[in-house]
Amino acid sequence: MAPSPADTIAFIGLGVMGYPMAKNLRAGLGPDKTLLVCDVNADALARFQSETAGQGPVHVVQNGFEAAQAANTVITMLPGSDAVKAVYLDAQTGILAGAVAAAAATATASPPSPKLIMECGTIENDTILAVASATATTSTTQLKNTLTFVDAPVSGGPMGAQAGTLTFMVGCAPSVSAQIFPIAKAYLTHMGLADGIFLCGAVGAGTAFKIINNYLSAITSLAASEALNIGVKAGLDPALLTDVINASGGQCWVTSKSNPVPGVQANVPSSRGYEGGFRIELCAKVLGMGSRLARDVGARTVLDQPTLGAFKEAMADERYRGKDARVVYKWLNESEGGKAEK
């Protein structure tokens, strides 16, 4: 007998962030809930089922349509706008089409069961608003106002995803936020900190908050790397310099949580060859999204273009390409203008 959609949650996108998020979700849901997973990578799906064995039912679905048919809650962690549009809006395989099909299969005089769908990636705002608009239209015209879309992008990177300490920035229609946000938060708490889940405003607000946060984080990654590189070139102890900075006005997340100098902090990307973190290509992408948002709202910026230029130069060198964004420290340290330090 198939599990009830009310007791079934689907998670689509088992990438660098989505895989550990889904693992924490499976662990937190308890054995009475069924988790559906979907990804283009068959190996990731098989590994996920193996690593979560014994925690509760895990089944594979092929697309968003199947997910929305079988589950009343669908969470996606997708890499970009094209993937979001395909997973949500495709007429044959999309989440919206699946929600309509599920309602048609159980047609009664009563409204369909409510469904919640939420995207947790960092996606261009116009795509988020397009999906929200399509969801609202489908919900109103075909589902008796029972389908709700929220954007809930995350901050904390792969380390936060693995530890279950992510911050979520949620955007939800004000007309339903009092009802929907507590439901969304109950699921997100399995993947993040309860006091780090924020209702930021209407749909799209979560994405705007996330883009602005990443804009600042990208710039501080370069600024902190420059400062620490100056210290290293001057012969200073980078660990002691970090302690002083973190006790003073220069402290930031980069210096305190993901120091760019190898060996200063354990279990951070810089101390494992800049592997396993927030790739410099993604960092540049979201910084560019912040620049576009600034232009759209008429906000003057000064630091974004020089930082994008630095990232572009570093990414052009295969030694730094594909690495955690804090690899800009290594790029600076090994650049002409000073002797590289080991």
Residues with a catalytic annotation lie at 210
User: Is the separation of the CB atoms in 154 and 161 below 8 Å?
Assistant: yes
The closest alpha carbon to 101, from 69, 56, 75, belongs to 69
Cα end-to-end span (Å), the chain: 61
Integer angstrom CA distances of residue 266 from 74, 124, 252, 257, 315: 36, 34, 17, 10, 25
Report the distance separating Cα 231 and Cα 245, nearest Å: 11
Rg value, the chain, Cα: 22
Report the distance separating Cα 23 and Cα 222, nearest Å: 32
The closest alpha carbon to 275, from 320, 211, 333, belongs to 320
